[in-house]
A and B are shown apart, each in its own frame.
Chain A
Amino acid sequence: MERVPVLKIGDILLVSIQDDMEDQVALQLQEDLADRIVATGSHGVIIDISALDIVDSFVGRTLATIAGVSKVLDAETVVVGMRPAVAITLVELGLSLPGIRTALNVELGMEMLARQRAAEEDLGIDEGEDDEPAVTVP
């Protein structure tokens, strides 16, 4: 059975779906990604669907599930590169893919993740500032 490759770039996992996915492949991807997030300790997942002509309700739900699973594993998911025709069809069908964050292309997706990460780390440091000596004193 064919699999969708999962690439690691920095602390981001990149998945580029090249072919219309069958249900089995989508489920396999969902499992693979969860394993890889844990194995690599990544904090972001980018799923590129720019090659997909069709996104049906099943693929939509799988994407939402992946986003949910990675969220639990402390990784943000961004779906990038959705084609206009796909977006129009989804809107006409009334599927608005709730719970999925989107960006226009991989570059903007990575920017989005980096920004999010930076914001979270800022918060982390803010919390740490209360016991500053513990951080600065070696």
Chain B
Amino acid sequence: MALSSDEGSRFADLLKGHEEAVGAAWTEQIAATLRGRLSHAELQRQTTELQKGFQSALAGGAQDIGDDAAAELRAQLSDLSSARARQGFTANETAISVFALKDAVLKVLDNGDPNVLRDYVAFSAFIDRAGLFTFDSYVRAREELIADQAEQLLELSTPVVKLWDGVVAVPLVGTLDSARAQVVMERLLQTLVDTGSPYAIIDITGVPAVDTQVAQHILKTVVAARLMGADCIISGIRPQIAQTIVALGIEFGDIATKSSLADALRHVIRLTGTKRQER
């Protein structure tokens, strides 16, 4: 139900006329739900700003939260919800911050007049829309937060370390899915180029399970490294994993596999050593 322009302007007048009273009642309501996790002064500032936002949107003839006149109000609401999302408030608490305006307005209304009550129903529909919009923004902010964290986790979990002259290692920890395998592959190959290391050790001690897909990813990485002229050794294969690999019939072909990182490093050093002697 959209707000008619008459109702809108009456609402704006009401907000303006009872600015202090509405603001105080609103702040009071929110403070009760947030249980002191936000300072009173901070809340007061937020409600005053929002109240001005509502007022100017309604005075500007906004009939729905999606209208052009309500653009500023929308910006304020989404700022509020992303701030709340980042501060760790729940979606409920954030939405109530807006819905509390209804109670605050009801308190200052003249309840006897049926026309006033009809107006109030229209106002509250508008506020409901605003509240839903807040909820939407809150969810969006939280999703962005989660996406950011996932990306950071991806970066954290795939370091490529230099072990020796011309030897780099990737200690893989955690489940290897396609996205991570892709990141690992790219990062490893780039490090090979940057450091000019002809040997790479892929250590899978921290990988809880190896299925055909994980093996496929590892094999692809090894073949890509070979294409670029570097040799890969797979290390850290635990007994159970060795059994699964054999049971699944995965062929590592002529790729060197070692049970521990130390063995792999020794193997590589021996290889580089014989090369030096040959020279």
Residues of A within 8 A of B (CB): 78-88, 90-92, 96-97, 101-105, 107-109, 111, 114-115, 118-119
Contact = CB atoms under 8 A, between A and B. Distances in A.
A102 B229 contact: yes
Interface string B210-248: 000000000010011111111000000000000000000
A14 B190 CA distance: 24
Residue from the set A88, A109, A114 with the largest chain B CB neighbour count within 10 Å: A88
A84 B186 contact: yes
6 contacts: A103-B229, A105-B193, A107-B196, A108-B198, A111-B279, A118-B278
Closest 6 pairs (CB-CB, A-B): A84-B189, A102-B229, A103-B229, A87-B224, A87-B227, A91-B224
B192 interface: yes
Contacts of A96: 223, 226-227
Given A102-B229, A114-B279, 20 more contacts: A81-B193, A82-B228, A82-B229, A83-B193, A84-B186, A84-B193, A86-B227, A87-B189, A87-B224, A87-B228, A88-B220, A92-B220, A96-B223, A96-B226, A104-B192, A104-B193, A104-B230, A108-B198, A115-B275, A115-B278
Nearest to B226: A102
Interface residues on chain B, size class: 20 to 34
Given A82-B229, A119-B278, A103 B224 contact: no
A4 B125 CA distance: 73
B223 A91 contact: yes
B50 interface: no
Interface string B160-199: 0000000000000000000000000110011011001110
B229 A88 contact: no
Contacts, number: 70
Given A84-B189, A84-B193, A96-B223, A102 B278 contact: no
A80 B198 CA distance: 12
Interface string B246-279: 0000000000000000000000000000010011
Nearest to B195: A104
Contact of B229 (A92, A109, A115, A118): A109
A85 to B, nearest CB: 8
B229 A80 contact: yes
B185 A88 contact: yes
A84 B230 CA distance: 11
Interface of B: 185-186, 189-190, 192-193, 196-198, 220, 223-230, 275, 278-279
A87 B225 CA distance: 7
Nearest to B221: A91
Contacts of B224: 84, 87-88, 90-91
Contacts of B227: 82, 86-87, 90-91, 96-97, 102
A115 B279 contact: yes
A88 B189 contact: yes
Nearest to A88: B224
A102 B225 CA distance: 10
A124 B48 CA distance: 92
Interface centre among A78, A84, A90 (most CB of B within 10 A): A84
Given A80-B229, A90-B224, A118-B279, A104 B185 contact: no
A102 B224 CA distance: 11
B229 A104 contact: yes
B196 A108 contact: yes
A114 B198 CA distance: 16
A81 B193 CA distance: 8
B38 to A, nearest CB: 49
A84 B190 contact: yes
Nearest to B188: A84
Contacts of B279: 111, 114-115, 118
A78 B223 CA distance: 17
Contacts of B230: 104
